[in-house]
A and B are shown apart, each in its own frame.
Chain A
Amino acid sequence: MTVIITDTGFGPDTWTLGYEGDTALDLPSDTDPVQLSERLAAQVQMIRIAFPSFADGRGFTIARHLRLSGYKGHLRATGHLIADQYAMARRSGFDDVEISDELAARQPENQWLARANWQQNDYQARMRGGSPAAA
């Protein structure tokens, strides 16, 4: 099982339609966001991007590119992310983060909530006059 993390902490998955239908995409970290944005179907409401390792930061660029290209649906980072990356994920345009129960036990809710203040102390927002990097 997995845990969904938002600014209010741990919660259950509210996306009930799975990733098999044509409204959701489940993407690996080597996805080319340029091609993806060009072909993205209008009915897609959920895109989940894999982080096979916390050291693979390509997902941040994919999320950012999707937002810059106008994608307004849900964006979820899934896999091996650590609590210290929560702010990066949010600032790059992700709505939430999905981790395993095992990782959630090792890095409990308070460690993620410590980064729920991601809208503060953000040089990118400052450079862009208040809006976060992905806006």
Chain B
Amino acid sequence: MYKYNDFDTAFLAERNAQFRAQVERRIDGSLTEDEFKPLRLMNGLYLQLHAYMLRVAIPYGSLNSAQMNTLALLAEKWDKGYGHFTTRQNIQYNWPKLSDVPDMLDALAEVGMHAIQTSGNTIRNVTADHFAGAAADEIEDPRPIAELIRQWSTDHPEFQFMGRKFKIAVGGAAKDRAVLKAHDLAVRVVQNDAGETGYQILIGGGLGRTPMIGKVINDFVPRADLLPYIEAVVSVWNQIGRRDNKYKARIKITVHEHGIDHIRARVDARFALIRPTFLGADQELFSEIKVHFSPPKFRTGSTTPYDTAYKTDPVFRAWADTNLADHRVSDHAIVTISIKKHGATPGDASAEQMRVMATLAADYGYDELRISHEQNVILPHVHKSDLPAIHAKLKQHGLGTANIGLISDIIACPGMDYCALATARSIPVAEQIATRFDDLKLEHDIGHLQIKISGCINACGHHHVGHIGILGLDRAGVENYQITLGGDATWSAAVGERAGPGFAYDEIVPAVERIVDAYLSVRDTAEETFLETYRRVGMSPFKAALYPEAIKKVA
């Protein structure tokens, strides 16, 4: 885990002092509301529907127990006792008072955390594979390079007032768990034919109202060229990206309008200018950072307690089957703690739950936790013999739900319950779908099926890349939900196809049920997932199930 050095600590203290002064200058009139807005946004402070919202960064999703306990402290001391984990490895507090925010930031700084560039037209919190450092299929831990990018992008003088936000994700494994192709810029650790490690760079991915899949701009950037290369990309976009229309300002539109070859030529020219300014200090920093991410000394021992519980306790077995993933060390496992209890708000955790997870990490998990873009919490390193004790503790605190990757493990944006931009509710739809399929006792039979829900066209709930995507809109003052099918958030990324006319609020859950019934009746075997079935049979059986009246009319 990265530990702040004197530079990081001094930087953050200065930054927090600046923000405290900015709040005072807003109050005394030195700053207009317009001028204050980007300053509070680049420090993570939004104005939501009912109140301010503070979005705290959990860079590349990694944190330790002390940091998790501080997140709990913030929830309890300055908010309503809970926090909301987001799809970009942040945590949001929905009810802070403006005057308390500087104190909240100081409390975060004590454990090396901040809310810098979690919002605004800046380079946002750098995200990464949530199984980083633990996954069996990893080429290289992506976190050291993500930390280097975090430092490089923090307060970058050229990139604080860009045309729009810029999101970077890093992956280092065979499987993509970081939605790389839906980011403005993605860094993928790869090896070339000579066996050297470098980076494949994709740009121009994004969701929102114009979903685009990222394109490769460079197949292999050598290690020492990475920062100047990324800087060249952002610099070119900051210059030529559109500023006349904020919906056309993201780099995906720039790439679409200019073409990837044109952008590549400009980036190469800019890179040639920037590269000589990097004299190797960044590579020395990278070497220092890497040491922080050395794997823990994994303990050895018998896995009998695990094997016994697996054989004798069906509740434990169901949880183990869905919530565990392969660890690079065979007697260890990666535990995903579901923050998707049936009927609860996806991604919301209480202060008490945060403390429980922190304690589990300290007691059993080498003091490490991760937050996933799927809004769950992960204990990346657990010796298998400790799993029964962990499961027992989780169950006591509403954290034992066995549903990772299943239909109730839903990504949902805050929607109209919190967000000023939303046009429809998301959270209650997610809650009702989860409750309905839990009542039917069908979700383990259905298997891997990702539902993603956005409450407006900005697509924070990733609906475009959900196997079943749900987009809530406002149609003449009435909520209306559009369904897309076949989206994919992995390396085989795809934007879902719209099924047809939308559904009213009270029709959307039955509509999802009809899709699932259609899947269960047309799948080849119980092993064929929803997405595989959709790719084999296409839209028509699902359309027939969704719109039986239309079929009748044609017939």
Contacts and interface: CB of A to CB of B under 8 A. Distances in A.
B25 interface: yes
Interface string B195-235: 00000000000000000000000000000000100000001
B39 interface: yes
A130 B278 CA distance: 10
Contacts of B280: 129
Contacts, number: 116
Given A54-B35, A57-B160, A69-B273, A126 B285 contact: yes
B247 interface: no
A48 interface: no
Contact of A123 (B39, B154, B235): B154
Interface stretch (B7-15, B304-312, B512-520, B542-550): B7-15
Interface in A49-68: 54-58, 60-62, 64-65, 68
B501 interface: no
Interface stretch (A3-11, A17-25, A86-94): A86-94
A45 interface: no
B267 to A, nearest CB: 12
B264 to A, nearest CB: 15
Nearest to B151: A123
B152 interface: yes
Tell me the interface secondary structure of chain A in the complex.
Answer: helix
Chain A contact patch, size range: 35 or more
B281 interface: yes
Nearest to B266: A34
A57 B273 contact: no
A123 B277 CA distance: 14
B243 A128 contact: no
A122 to B, nearest CB: 8
A126 B35 CA distance: 29
Given A60-B161, A88-B157, A126 B7 contact: yes
Contacts of A61: 158, 235, 238-239
Contacts of A89: 157
A120 interface: yes
Contacts of B156: 123-124, 133
B21 interface: yes
A128 B161 contact: no
Contacts of A127: 151-152, 227, 278, 281-282, 285
Interface string B104-133: 000000000000000001000000000000
B509 interface: no
A58 B22 contact: no
A87 B157 contact: yes
The 8 A-B residue pairs with the shortest CB-CB distance, nearest first, are A57-B161, A129-B281, A91-B157, A88-B157, A68-B273, A121-B11, A127-B282, A60-B158
Interface of B: 7, 10-11, 14-15, 18, 21-22, 25, 29-31, 35, 38-39, 121, 151-152, 154-162, 227, 235, 238-240, 243, 266, 269-270, 273-274, 277-282, 285
Given A56-B243, A107-B25, A114-B18, 4 more contacts: A57-B162, A58-B238, A60-B157, A84-B22
13 contacts: A32-B239, A56-B161, A57-B159, A57-B238, A65-B270, A83-B30, A106-B29, A111-B30, A120-B14, A123-B152, A128-B277, A128-B278, A133-B157
